[in-house]
Each structure stands twice: as structure tokens, then as C-alpha cells.
Chains A and B, each alone.
Chain A
């Protein structure tokens, strides 16, 4: 199966390991992975701040970049959601709406792709320890991917997954919210870090780098011990 990677700007620049893990998992599962180099950012920072014109510039570039591929797979629930938002952004635009729809239809978040398209529930991973999983908001509520990450994690050998208390609450990232509304964001991330501690988990796993940067950055600042891992890194562990 031919898969085109939308790696996201955060992973490209800050967390290339997550990207490598994504490639290795997909290749191991028999996919032929390509990486169109004209991809940049999905446009969320502008869109979520009210700059729709600027977000459209980013979106158009992405629509063109992935126009002729079969599947788009991304290791980020939030960025996948943004691709699914494109038809809404271009509503009524004769030139772009249909193209945006076609992109949305073939775009999958990584775990969603593995479970729904590849029909694989066990990727053969092994990771020793106790983990808890942060359900990122956009992936859970807007992309409606709720089960796939848990299905895959439940088959990781030697990994015990503990339910995160108040998992439904946002971690306080919210893109520009994390800096614009820093005092509120701080309260939210603090509660999340406390919840992680309550589980006694060695690892906090999630499918979104933004959330992980936020929770992980706070964990580091507070000198706590839990390690944050992207789910791709977990699924690529042997």
C-alpha cells in the first residue's frame, strides 16, 4: 500500500524520532512510504487565532502537495483533524472546496490508519513498564478516533496501561492558547501532570506532539519522573 506521510512541522523540526518511528512501523507493516517535501504546516496556528486568510495560504499548499497520493497518514490527531476541517474552511469556494474534500477523505491519523485501513491491531511492539494515555481533544472529539490507540496499546507486550483520571479534560495546550492564556493553561497542565502522577505511570503516551510538548515540558520543569512518549515510539519499540 502506498502511503504519503504528513509529518507535521513540530515533528519535522523538534521530534524527528517520532517521524522515524512512524516510517519504520509503516514499512514494517508493508507500506511504501513517501514524503512529499513541499509540505509545510497545516495552518492551525493561524486558523485557531482567527487569521483565516493566512491559514488558507497554508491549506492550499497542503492540498496541492497531497493532491495525487492515495493515502495521507500523519502521526498527529490534531493535524489530521485540521485536514478534515479544510472543506469547511473552503466552503463555497468552487476552486478549492472539492479538492479539500478529497484530501480530507484520504487523510488518516496513524493509529486510525493502522486499525481501520490496514486492519492490524497488534504491531508486535514490546515495552516494559506502566503507562497511561492522554486522549487528545481534537483526535477524540472532532476526528472521532477513540478506540484505535487503546486497541494498539493493549497489544504491546509487557506494557501495563492505566486509565488516566479525568482523561476527558484538555491538557491546556490549545496551540496559541498555551502562551496567550498562560496562567489558565498552567492550571490545566498542572492538573494533568497530577493525574499522570496519580497513576504511578512510567510513561505518558499520546498521539499528539503538541500535547506532549506541553505536558512533557511541564513535567520537566517540575522535575517529575514520568517520561512522555509519542504513541509511534511505543508502537515501534521492540
Chain B
């Protein structure tokens, strides 16, 4: 699966999402639960704004010195006996992993949840050489069993599904015969996955944060699956987006706290593990360790007006508060990265041809910016995209350009504005009935499709104020 998850047009995807009432119910319930939990977790910590400031500083410092920390990370992983590969493109990354699998003659690969492996289409590449790739994160596993449905959320990939749907998928695909009780279903999957963990020759993980000065990879899960992925198979591959690192354990501590509280409202998730190549004195650990550092467009973002998006720690807090995501669901974005973060990131990594509508799929309510634990000004970056689309890309519709030109003229000239508003009641007469417009034309058409629009007042405020002053108002 690549970043792009649909060939349908934006409007078709949106309509499909809106019509899916089951999905919408699942999403809104999850949003409300996660919203409440996140607020409680941040209040409990206290000084949340100061923690956010610190998180932002750490991320910005790391990005400003990314070359230094990447080099340090790479040296430390190598020093510990690991292999580091810098992948310029997603193809390079997938190719490298494929070569490792071929060398190991691997037939089974077990992996924990990772968005970047989706981005580089790793599963498809490995399946192409006859490798079975097994998702061990419960949400990802559900989707894999369900005919490789794409994730609809970056933390909870099957967030769009209700437990009854999951039961049905298990019944149909795996012959599951019990109830929709999450405990029973999880127990069932656990039994299947235990076997897979033991059989796999290679374990693949993502990377929540790499620690530059130790050369270790931090994995954050609630299921403990990443721990089995990294403990059992003899060869381990960690795949990371090139910005996902911290200088030392001290910064890791801060960011993991922000991540867990923002993502799921927990102080810490059940498992926080740092892994890496085996130290000489250690008895356990992978025989072979590979770290794949994926660029795939990120260095283009670095140093650009969009650099702040690279601060992202993939907690999905922005997605969990987004009122647009709430109604259209994750698949409507057409990208593995949905919601506000996806609307900023997808056009940067995947291009405007596929994702030019996403920056407009936001009311700029700034709930995302408010929720972000590392203070990415998401709504401002969406605005920036719009500016680029209009000014640099020249992709705006001609009628809109003309309208905005006129707006610029009217809004900077009181004389023009006064004339325009004076004429408005007369000009709009044909479409006004009583005190409202029910069937608008031009830009008003879409407004009145669903709502009434007020008729312009015969007496403008400025006329009244004039009289008011003459009549002796203070």
C-alpha cells in the first residue's frame, strides 16, 4: 500500500464517507472518548503549556541540527554492530529491505505498526518476492485480514470499524465463532499471532523515536507486539522517517510523555521499549539489526516554509479533534496520512496533483493547532498551502481569481465598498423573497443549497450611525 489509498476523486471519496453512518458513529464516539482522556491526562500533568513549549523546542532544535544528529545516530548504530541505510526514495527503502529478506531467504516477516512502512509500500514489495508479511498490531491485523483495507487513522488504524464489523470479518475470513466481545476477539487473534512470531525470520518495526547518542530505537505500544517482533526473529529491521529522532534519553522522556498523553490519554502506554543492535556484553538481542532511514521528500520540506510539519510525533491528537475528519472519516483523505496532519503532509510528500483539495478540507477552526503537543501551527500551514496553490501553482479557478481581485479593490476602497453595499439590496432584489435568499446564484448557490441567506438590510449600519450621531448620540 502506498501513501495514496484511492483512485477516486476527492468529491466521491467525501460523499462515500458522509454516507457511511456506521463509520461516522464509530469515529465520533472514538473522538469524544479520546478528547476527554487527552484533556484529563494533560490536566493531570499540570503546566501543559510549558510541556508543549518544551516539546516544540526539542523538536525544533533537532530539526535545525538534523544532519548532526542523524550522523551521530548512524555512527552509534554502526558502532553497536548494526547496519544503517539512508533511503532517498521510498523505492530505495523498499528495495533495501527486499534485499535483506532475500539474503536471509525469509519466508515470513512479522511487523509492528508503522506508518512509514505503509508509505514505502514495504508489504507489497516483500509479498512480491513471496514473503508473507504479518501485521501484529491488532488494528493493522484486522485491516490486513479485511482484504488489506488501508488504515483510516495513524494511531488506531481500524478506528472506523465497530466491534460487530470486526467480528464479522473474523468470522468470514478466519472462521471465528465467538462474540464481538473485544476480550474474546483479542484472545483469538493472540493465539494466531503467537505462532507467527515464532515462525518469522525477520521482524520489522517502525520507530517512534530514535535516540541519537545511544543508537537505540524507542517503540511505544499498548499491545506489547513490538516487543515480540524485536525479541524473537533473529533479524530485525527498524524503519524510520528521517526526522523521527531525539538527541538523548532526556529529550526522549519528554516527548514520550507528550506522545502517550496526547495520543491515548495515558501517562505512558503499557510498553515503552528501546531496542537496537545487541551490545557485546548482552546475551539476548537480534543477530542482525538494520536501520532504514527514509527521506522520501522530507529533505525538501526541511528548510522550506513547511518545515514545522516535521515536528510531528504522530500522536493523532489533531485528527482526534478535527470536526472535518469526524464527518468524512480517514479514508476520504485518500492518503495514509489523514486529518489535519495529513492535509498538510500529503500534498508535500505526494504532490498537489493527488492532494490539492486537502488544504481546503478545513474550516480553519484551529482545533488541531490547539491540540498539537509540539505546537505545529497546523491551520496556518493549511493556509500556506492555499497560498502556494493560488500564487505559486496558479491552480485556483479563474472565476475565483477574478472575484478575489475585485475583493481586493473593493476592500481597500471605502468609496467602492459604499457604492457596492448601497446597491446590494437592489442588485439582490431578484433573488430575495421577504427577508431572505433561498435560492442563491454564483458563490451564494452552494450556501443556499442547505441554508437561508439574509437579504441585505435596506438601512446599513453606517447610515443608521450617521443619523444616530446627528440625533445627539454621544
Contacts and interface: CB of A to CB of B under 8 A. Distances in A.
Interface in A49-87: 49-55, 57-58, 60-61
Contacts of B369: 141
B100 interface: no
B473 A23 contact: yes
Nearest to B474: A27
Nearest to B396: A50
Give the residue among A5, A60, A166, A170 with the most B Cβ atoms within 10 A. A170
Contacts of B15: 183
Contacts of A187: 18, 327-328
A188 interface: yes
Contact of A14 (B370, B383, B414, B454): B454
Given A23-B473, A50-B389, A168-B367, A183 B323 contact: no
Contacts of B164: none
A182 B465 contact: no
- A-side interface size class: 35 or more
Interface SS, B side = helix
A61 B454 contact: no
B300 interface: no
A189 interface: yes
B260 interface: no
B390 interface: yes
Interface string B360-391: 11111111011000000000000101111111
Interface stretch (A32-40, A104-112, A149-157): A32-40
A148 interface: no
A221 B412 contact: no
Interface of B: 11, 14-15, 18, 32, 35, 321, 323-324, 326-328, 360-367, 369-370, 383, 385-391, 396, 400, 404-405, 407-414, 417-418, 421, 424, 436, 443-447, 449-457, 459-462, 464-465, 468, 473-474
20 contacts: A5-B465, A13-B421, A13-B424, A14-B456, A33-B474, A40-B410, A48-B364, A48-B383, A49-B396, A52-B391, A57-B409, A58-B407, A58-B411, A137-B366, A174-B362, A177-B364, A178-B447, A184-B361, A217-B454, A220-B451
Interface of A: 5, 7, 9, 11-16, 19-20, 23, 27, 31-33, 35, 37-41, 43, 45-55, 57-58, 60-61, 137-138, 141-142, 166, 168-170, 172-175, 177-189, 191, 213-214, 216-218, 220-221
Given A19-B465, A40-B413, A52-B391, 11 more contacts: A41-B407, A50-B383, A50-B390, A141-B366, A177-B362, A182-B450, A183-B11, A184-B18, A185-B450, A217-B451, A220-B452
